[in-house]
């Protein structure tokens, strides 16, 4: 992919974001892109987590306020694009901007990379193909909030074993402040945790709750792997309530 980009635009600056997304895990890829994209100055983001490669799924480009996203029409790009503000979405059909012999199994190299490079050279989004509105949506789910508890789910588990939930900071902060205790139910475990600002505020090897760098509730273990303890996996239900 880098070779294709640099052949078309030798002045392009290519930055790798993450090559360790779980296999076929579109939602994890969407979360990583959502978490990182806003830290780049105006950029063209190419995302490839594409289990539907070679099928009828479309290739798309999304123009936003301050960014462009290119990739498969499977929801991967949407949370990040929505955070910027979507202006238009185009179905990539113009083969003038893709490789002539696109394979069925590597659209990252043969479609997405060359399209991104042509965009960086000044090609207009409208030249890629027709505008569409029925692109595939993806979100991280909406936690259920009632008087008893806040119920969400595991969004992803990072390589340190930190469990990132889909419960956003603003929902948590309506009920708890840092240094308060809460009870978390996850994977059949009921755990009393303290909500802390940093991992280092917890005692050695203790489980804790904190806010991730992307402002979602995170369950972690100081100097350890929280996910291994509760066998956490994506989409596993999580609930938090006041500690009794």
The model's pTM: 0.92
Residue pLDDT, tens place only, 80-124: 999 999 999 999 999 999 998 889 999 999 999 999 999 999 999
Find, among 93, 69, 101, the residue nearest to 83 by Cα.
Answer: 69
Work out the end-to-end distance of the chain between its first and last CA atoms, rounded to an integer number of angstroms.
Answer: 54
What tens digit of pLDDT does each residue of 196-236 get? 999 999 999 999 999 999 999 999 999 999 999 999 999 99
Considering its fold, how many domains does the chain have in total? 2
- Domain extent for 203: 144-242
Q: pLDDT value at position 7?
A: 97
Q: Is 123 in the same domain as 6?
A: yes
- Same-domain status, 225 and 190: yes
Query: What does the chain come to in residues?
Result: 244
Domain final residue pick, 101, 127, 153? 127
Pair 118, 178 in one domain: no
139 inside domain: no
93 and 163 in a common domain: no
pLDDT at 187 (0 to 100): 85
Residues 6+ apart with CB under 8 A from 17: 32, 33, 36, 45
66 and 162 part of one domain? no
- At 152, which CATH number? 2.40.30.90
Pull the structure tokens for residue 43.
Answer: 């950029």
What's the CATH number where 40 sits?
3.40.50.10790
């Amino acid at each position: 992919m880098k070779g294709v980009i640099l052949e078309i635009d030798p002045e392009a600056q290519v930055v790798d974001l993450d090559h360790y997304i779980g296999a076929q895990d579109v939602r994890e890829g969407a979360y990583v892109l959502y978490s990182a994209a806003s830290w780049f100055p105006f950029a063209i983001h190419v995302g490839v987590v594409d289990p539907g490669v070679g099928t009828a799924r479309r290739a798309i480009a999304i123009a936003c306020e301050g960014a462009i996203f290119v990739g498969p029409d499977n929801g991967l790009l949407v949370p990040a694009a929505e955070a910027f503000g979507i202006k238009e979405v185009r179905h990539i059909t113009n083969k003038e901007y893709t490789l002539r012999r696109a394979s069925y199994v590597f659209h990252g190299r043969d479609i997405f990379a060359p399209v991104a490079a042509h965009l960086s050279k000044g090609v207009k989004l409208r030249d890629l193909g027709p505008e569409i509105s029925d692109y595939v949506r993806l979100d991280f789910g909406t936690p259920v909030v009632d008087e008893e508890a806040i119920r969400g789910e595991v969004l992803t588990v990072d390589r340190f074993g930190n469990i990132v939930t889909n419960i956003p900071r603003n929902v948590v902060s309506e009920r708890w402040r840092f240094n308060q205790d809460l009870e978390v139910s996850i994977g059949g475990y009921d755990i009393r945790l303290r909500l802390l600002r940093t991992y280092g505020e917890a005692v050695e090897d203790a489980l804790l709750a904190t806010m991730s760098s992307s402002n979602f509730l995170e369950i972690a273990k100081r100097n350890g792997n929280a996910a291994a303890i509760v066998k956490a996996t994506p989409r596993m239900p999580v609930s938090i309530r006041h500690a009794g």
